[in-house]
Structure 1
């Protein structure tokens, strides 16, 4: 099928505007990278942060004129990688992408860094709902059937989490409270290993991110029962929304903040912000197709980025406390 000429022209114009925009930012700030930039992904390969991070690393590296190298630092539900980013030299050569960043304070009692004050905002890569899924061999076709099965067999079935403090963990706790079910929460070292456990039947159900599970859903190894959103997703149009599936309280979407260590020079923050926002715009069609991630306009300053993180901390803490979950 031939591409739409107007769409092709729009993408070409967008790409053509990236370099002048970055050049203006660099001229104004006086900062330009002269070596590779490290993008820390605090989860194992294959999860949503890894997928989104690698898409943006390719695009941002081309814009910056230096490679953006993904470094996976998995463990403790993103805490290990986030701490590495917080303690890195604040010189513009280390950034972090972490969709669990705002959830960690609600779930981890002793976080070894300050979620807000140890970081500066660069950009928000986008927003994406989680998905309620089951292993394709589990004999349920709807969310109502899954809830009935779990209630008939309390504690028998395994839920695949992406780690303590991860968005998948948080979504699972919301599902537990909304459905009134009991199950075993098994924490894996990231979204990729969690989805792998679902596919091989080690865990029977979960609420993975759309980015980490959409390929398996489309391939038939996972069955999607509901999208954790008010409305259906264009990326999975045949899957009911949470209200349509009978779980109106199961509303949870992850967002992907890109952050740098506090103290990073303002001129570096400005140039990185321009580059990553341009990369997000340039990669939007691929992010939506591959990961179900959609950007939002207006998040174009460090304060606005950190405002989203701050609101997320408050929201997630409120949800979990209402569900009776305390930090561990």
Structure 2
């Protein structure tokens, strides 16, 4: 066997012996994480919480670049897909990664073929919030207000293809006969600011980016989209408690690199991300980011992404959304 190939072979064979694979690839210049959304959104929050600890484990500084634009973060994702497959550029994305091909008929990249999965970075429930000036305190008063104002309501989203767009479509399907207009913004942060200012009535946002606004009193939380309450918002009822058991939509976060990135580099990033999530568990709990150890390896994340592509396509088809 050619000795120069042994570290790469070990990296490909040793998931979970990732420590050995990590030693086979050590970056010698700064790294970058591309977030395909504006600063302040949930994906950006997770990237910034993890980045310093990940950088320390990899031994290099990490620059976070926000490249917002396009449905479901197409611009930032395309930039990573077309980057050199050398391990120095990582895409940190949300479940909008699998929503994009359900909305865009001519994708500039292949979600499966042009990326290699690195790590699953947790799932988070989403929460519905409203402007404080509205006479809404719970789901019953929300539904009554929506019915009384049907056709005059706007809700903020991070754009078609975002996680809160998907959650909003499922909510609309659970409330037939109520007309709401979606107002798109360039990321979850601007969408939340629209609700705070009153230029939008409500939005659905992953808890990591919404929790500070809720606890600070900038917006009022009505319900968590899912069957159980969140530890980050213990006083906010779940959708099931609020009477909408079918409204169960969680966001997730993941790290990806360009296809054909060396297995040793993928293993090193995987170990660094998993190590950061373990060390920062208390902070992640505060943000309602729930670890899923069963999706810890790159291979498991690959399988998860493929399965979620199918699930999301079915939800959007049911909502009448077609690729354009």
Query: Structure 1 length normalisation: TM-score?
Result: 0.90
Distance in 2 between residues matched to 1:26 and 1:166, nearest whole Å: 33
Residue number in structure 2 paired with 1:37: 31
Give per-residue Cα distances to partners, 1:229-285, cap 9 Å, x unaligned.
Answer: 111111111111101111111110011011111010111111111111111111121
Q: Provide the secondary structure at the position in 2 that maps to 1:202.
A: coil
* 2:141 paired residue among 116, 134, 145: 145
Q: Secondary structure at the match of 1:292?
A: coil
Q: How many residues are treated as equivalent by the alignment? A: 305
Deviation at 1:299, TM superposition (A): 2.0
Matched residue, 2:253: 256
CA distance in 1, matches of 2:306, 2:162: 16
Q: CA deviation at 1:110?
A: 2.4
Is 1:97 aligned to residue 95 of structure 2? no
C-alpha separation in 1, matches of 2:77 and 2:296: 22
Structure 1: which 4+ aligned runs deviate by more than 4 Å? Answer: none
Q: Given the alignment of the two structures, is residue 70 of structure 1 paired with residue 64 of structure 2, yes or no? A: yes
For 2:308, the equivalent position in structure 1 comes to: 312
Q: Which runs of 5+ in 2 are unaligned?
A: 1-16
Aligned-partner SS, 1:97: strand
Counterpart Cα distance in 2 of 1:22 and 1:247: 42
Q: Secondary structure at the match of 1:274?
A: helix
Match of 2:51 in 1: 57
Partner-residue secondary structure (3-state), 1:91: coil
The alpha-carbon deviation at position 166 of structure 1 amounts to 0.6
Aligned counterparts of 1:98 and 1:85: Cα–Cα separation in 2: 11
Structure 1 segments unaligned to the other structure (5+ residues): 1-20
CA distance in 2, matches of 1:109, 1:243: 35
1:210 partnered with 2:207:
yes
- Aligned CA-pair RMSD: 1.3
- Contact 2:18 2:267 (C-alpha < 8 Å) held by counterparts: no
Partner of 1:79: 74
